Structure 1
Amino acid sequence: MAEDEGVDDDLLTIGVFAARARLSAKALRLYDRLGLLAPAYVDPVSGYRYYRAGQIERARTVALLRRLDMPLAVVAEVLAAAEPRGAERLAAYWADAEARFAAQRTLAAFLRARLSGRSAEMYEKFAVETVDVPAQVVLCEKRHVLADELPTWIGASMGRLEAAARECGGVAGAPFVVYHSDVSMDSDGPAESCVPVADEAAARAWAERQGRARETTVRVEPARRLAFTRIGKSQVAFPQILAAFEAVEAWIGTRGLSYDGPCREVYFADWEAAGPEDPVCDVAFPVR
């Protein structure tokens, strides 16, 4: 019997089933291999795959989910979930996708401006100043982290360090994040969360107790002059924050200054209480 003929009223060859499901035989073989849609019967001699008509709805659902660019692993989660959890998993995936599309839309606009030679226009909205910051004792946590992991890690690490600061005389200044190298989807830094504290001896005792579990350290951050621009909460998102960093770099170049350390973000406001337009962060470069 040829593979494209039906076996009986219930069992269909892969060719017939593919036509009725409006899928290719290649896609069905892939879905079988990934455990998304197994044949109802596989001939042990010929290896031909046979399906039942009742599997058509599942096959079409798989195909439709894939049209959403849903990864196969997430498709499997949606299909495996009992009602209504499958719909909830789909909703969660799509909310993440829409957030990603919104960020990509903003990035595309940013790149259009750059490629059109209009970068200077983007920088005009950022007012750049300098400030002298005294030496500080800081609790630090350093980690290699990619861009998509960065927001979660910053919040978690700052929470840990601010809790530890209570044992070290309290928080003595605005927390900041230092970027020792680029953090992107291809480069993992490292980045370093820093919280200034009042009691150096207590801080060093705390760090000794922590050991190297989270690469926690205590150091004295030297006095620095920072060139910075102040941004609102909504501008902390990528790529708006990238434009802020570039605006400061452009300003430094026009003033003939030189860099005196890695760039940083200084968080001086209550993030949870701040509104979208409220200033929360200074994007800064040490200069001399």
Structure 2
Amino acid sequence: MTHRITASRRGPERVLACRATVDQPGSTRSYGRATRPCTRLAGRDLLTFTGPAFCRLHGPVTQEDASPVEACLPFAAAAAQPGDLPDGMVVLDLPGTLYASTVVDGAAAAFPDILAAYDAVASWITTHAFDFAGPVHEIYRRWCGEPGHPDNRLEIAWPITEPDGP
């Protein structure tokens, strides 16, 4: 499969994030367990969502390796804010930055096929002499509740900087 890679600038985001450490076999269950408390808290505090949920992966999530991840729900910084946060949940202000990304649908959005999308974005970044600028985002543009569902649409977006830029 050929992945179309685009570079686009995105503005800053405030997100409600639930932190966990997961490996690939537990990733789908762990993302769901991490997102549910965020969603409940967001409903309780009447947060205004500003975009789709996503996970920030701080390292490889493989069969053998567990890595820290943050399940994130973006919400309006100028509207209602969350109250008391339970352990493992934080509010993050993510800076605006440039991202290299690709979109995958259906079975291509499920493990192991999704690895090709990660590889394609990473290869594009290296080939075009950009620098990696933070954890990769797995953005749930449309999620139907099960990996490989034909209507799923995920975006793999990596923050980048130009080689001579901040």
Partner of 1:127: 4
Q: Return the match for 1:189 from 46, 50, 67.
A: 67
Q: Residues of 2 paired with 1:229 and 1:238: CA distance?
A: 16
TM-score by length of 2: 0.85
Report the CA distance shift for 1:279/1:225 in structure 2 as closer, same or farther (over 3 A).
Answer: farther
Q: Let me know the Cα RMSD of the aligned residues.
A: 2.3
Partner SS state of residue 268, structure 1: strand
Deviation digits for residues 156-212 of structure 1 (CA, Å, limit 9, x no counterpart): 2223212322224222111110111221222210111010112468434242xx2x1
Partner of 2:14: 137
Alignment of 1:245 with 2:139, yes or no, is no
Deviation digits for residues 13-59 of structure 1 (CA, Å, limit 9, x no counterpart): xxxxxxxxxxxxxxxxxxxxxxxxxxxxxxxxxxxxxxxxxxxxxxx
Unpaired segments ≥5 residues, structure 1:
1-121
Partner of 1:87: none
Q: Return the match for 2:23 from 105, 129, 146.
A: 146
Alignment of 1:254 with 2:132, yes or no, is no
Partner of 1:269: 142
Structure with higher Rg: it is: 1
Deviation digits for residues 206-254 of structure 1 (CA, Å, limit 9, x no counterpart): 42xx2x1xx1111101112110010013112212111110011111122
Report the CA distance shift for 1:174/1:168 in structure 2 as closer, same or farther (over 3 A).
Answer: same
Unpaired segments ≥5 residues, structure 2:
162-166
Deviating above 6 A after TM superposition, structure 1's stretches of 4 or more consecutive aligned residues are none
Higher helix proportion (structure 1 or 2)? 1
Q: Which structure is richer in relative contact order (CA contacts within 8 A, separation 6 or more)? A: 2
TM-score by length of 1: 0.51
Kept in 2, the 8 Å contact 1:128–1:228? The answer is: yes
The code of the aligned residue for 2:63 comes to: M
Report % sequence identity. Answer: 26
Partner SS state of residue 186, structure 1: coil
Shift of 1:257: 0.8
